[in-house]
Amino acid sequence: MKIIESAKNDWIKQIKKLEKKKFRDLENRYLIEGEHLVEEALNYGGDIQFVLVTEESLPSYAYILEKIEEDKKVQVTYEVIKHLSTLPSPQPIMAIVGKENKIATTRVTSHVLLLDNVQDPGNVGTMIRTADAAGFSKVVLGKGTADVYSPKVVRSMQGSQFHIKLEETELIETIAGLREEAYQIYGTELNEEAISFKDIEKSEKIAILMGNEGQGVSADLLKETDQNIFIPMKGHAESLNVAVAAGIVMFSL
């Protein structure tokens, strides 16, 4: 096993750069932190390139490490872990994984979640996790949406990137493609013709389009939807958090 003891090591400096989108895109890989995520990557066919672990925790993670090829294991100091982590008290295990991973499992539904310009990384991660739990087949991240491999999105996804297909692309094209496949596209905006989410006609091919936290779905995409839906509210709050709204709609299908 390789041993790296200093955060100033050249390779560690390279890894540290993965905090930035530019470098993640360039190298096509990103960092995951903690036992749970490394396990998820292992169990669901994630492309694990390296596992970094401290000497003290080798015994506790032996059950993970025995499934990792020798030249992919790197023993580091906790100082190195802390240097690479974006958390105040990181777990002593992390991994570098490729963005591409095969989603082997068959999904329960064909439903698709589309995210237009959702900026908060916590919201993006939470919505992917919820789409996974609801059995959706895919999440498509459009323009302006937080980068799916940023540390905060990765943290709130809790490993769902290994279960559900994720795409980053132009939503206008995705919607055109879905329409050809006979999908019903539901936008989320309260307007005169909007219907309650409870009245969505159940079907195998449903796409839900969620928008920006402040401005909602952009006008040019709303034009492309088949129907707009809203969540009837009984209280005085003017709106719901976008991730909560998405959860309510996805679990109603």
Q: Is 34 in the site for a copy of itself (CB under 8 A)?
A: no
Sheet hosting strand 2-4, strand order edge to edge: 2-4, 73-76, 48-54, 93-98, 29-33
User: Does the protein bind a copy of itself through residue 14 (CB under 8 A)?
Assistant: no
Which window, 5-13, 19-27, 155-163, 172-180, contacts a copy of itself (CB under 8 A)?
155-163
C-alpha separations of 4 from 26, 106, 140 in Å: 24, 40, 38
With beta carbons less than 8 A apart as the criterion, state whether 160 and 129 touch.
yes
How do 93-98 and 48-54 pair as beta strands?
A: antiparallel
Please tell me the count of residues contacting a copy of itself according to CB under 8 A: 38
139 and 166 in contact (C-beta within 8 Å)? yes
Q: List the one residue from 117, 156, 188, 228 that touches a copy of itself (CB under 8 A).
A: 156
Contact 221, 175 (CB under 8 A): yes
User: How far, in Å, CA of 155 to CA of 186, rounded?
Assistant: 28
Neighbours of 120 (CB within 10 A): 18
Stretch that binds a copy of itself, among 23-31, 49-57, 185-193, 239-247 (CB under 8 A): 239-247
Question: Which residue lies nearer to a copy of itself by CB, 83 or 129?
Answer: 129
Name residues contacting a copy of itself, limited to 89-128 (CB under 8 A): 105, 107-109, 122, 126
248 binds a copy of itself (CB under 8 A): yes
Please list the residues that pair with 50 across neighbouring strands: 96
- Candidate list 58, 60, 101, 135; residue touching a copy of itself; CB under 8 A: 135
Binding segment for a copy of itself (CB under 8 A), chosen from 48-56, 62-70, 87-95, 234-242, is: 234-242
Nearer to a copy of itself, 116 or 132 (CB): 132
CB of 119 to a copy of itself, least distance (A): 14
x/- letters, 158..177, toward a copy of itself (CB under 8 A): xxx--xx-------------
What tokens were used for 163?
């279960």
Q: How far apart are CA 2 and CA 65, in angstroms?
A: 13
- Could you list the residues that contact a copy of itself (CB under 8 A)? 44, 105, 107-109, 122, 126, 129-136, 156, 158-160, 163-164, 231, 233-241, 243-248, 251
